[in-house]
Chain A
């Protein structure tokens, strides 16, 4: 069954109601909600037209450039939010790329899925979204921990600790926190939540068992790539809070 633009418009009324409530409660997020809602519409519309062309792409280089473009946009989005962490764009870009290319590399090498745009791009989009969340929480939490534990960090530096030694425990705390969304998602999948991709496949008439197998693969890849992105961003982020003389940046 095809959804009409009338149906999309009807569903957007819920968001309009949320915006109205946010405005009434003076939450200060009205503009951001409105901006996000409009962006969802145009981004997906654009993606629909692009996908029509892209999903038929066969050449690996075309697929590669599309993936790079997706990662760049994801990194840009996170880095705008995490402007207090130096080089946030590059840290996010490298971390998400590492997560994607390692996990995707394994499943492509194992020939679990084909190197075709219509299989790779949907999987990567799910990976990026989860990795972005993980990296975002990681940087945000680490920044908060370092700010609140400034005294302890300086005490450790005074005792001859390196930047890594002085922030070891804080990095661990930030990593644990950034795993929570991914773990919660994995714990409830199939029981509380039906993932969008699986629901979509079932809507499209695919056998639920076949859809489930595909979803299992996606879930494992999501956990793996989110974990790699989180570790990678933790490894790259903590250094950015220190000068080369091991002083905490202001």
Chain B
């Protein structure tokens, strides 16, 4: 049984009298504890697709199933606790690190002792010093803020983690720390992860499978190794060739 299944998922954006198709008829399955990367040029519909999985956006047609249960059968708040999402910018609240991490637990009515225990565990997991818990979250560096943002999402213990370009605002060193963290979350906590990125480096390092989206269509969905060594589709070959022409020498 697959963990997540998208079936003919489509999204159209309405603007006045006109409608524009952002993505159409996307069907794919993601296995439990798998890391899948949605790759593609800007405007290909990756982030919108991700937002539709936890219903921050609403599909125009099609279905998404989590453990064979339709996301439309779950109340949005329960769905979002089961399917956590980390946004592109850390978007921390103007509170302390501790208050940020335990935000979701407070909403669920967890005791202060439980909140503190969980916040300590999570700040260690994301590789930050426990002493930072009492610091104002917005005083941290962007890289640290993004790690706090991941800890804040993990506090709800979601089964699925959606990561929307979370390394795009970071320097290469911070991005690498986050990539290691993504692998750790899958290996230690057993989460299923869908990652949207522009970075071919990140995709190659962390993803088990890659889904390439072009102009709102799913062009190719294969294992990472195969994606880079033996892509099947002509569009994938062109996409990779364009990337190689730009970054060729630095690409390993």
Interface residues of A (CB under 8 A from B): 151-152, 154-162, 165, 243, 245-248
Contact = CB atoms under 8 A, between A and B. Distances in A.
A170 to B, nearest CB: 11
A159 B153 contact: yes
Given A152-B93, A165-B107, A247-B55, A158 B153 contact: yes
A151 B156 CA distance: 19
Contact of A159 (B57, B58, B107): B107
B56 A157 contact: yes
A160 B55 contact: no
Interface of B: 54-58, 76-78, 80-81, 84-87, 89, 91-93, 103-104, 107-108, 149, 152-153, 156
B76 A159 contact: no
Contacts of A155: 87, 91-93, 149
B77 A160 contact: yes
B148 to A, nearest CB: 11
Given A245-B58, A247-B56, A247-B58, A157 B91 contact: no
A246 B77 contact: yes
B161 to A, nearest CB: 11
Contact of A245 (B76, B84, B152): B76
Contacts of B56: 154, 157-158, 247-248
A247 B57 contact: yes
A249 to B, nearest CB: 11
Contacts of A154: 56, 87, 91
A152 B84 CA distance: 15
A159 B87 contact: no
A217 B140 CA distance: 52
B104 A245 contact: no
A245 B84 CA distance: 16
Nearest to B89: A151
A202 B91 CA distance: 57
11 contacts: A152-B93, A155-B92, A155-B93, A158-B54, A159-B103, A160-B78, A160-B104, A160-B156, A161-B77, A161-B107, A247-B57
B190 to A, nearest CB: 20
B182 to A, nearest CB: 17
Given A154-B56, A245-B55, A247-B55, A159 B104 contact: yes
B81 A160 contact: yes
Nearest to A155: B91
Contacts of A160: 77-78, 80-81, 104, 107-108, 156
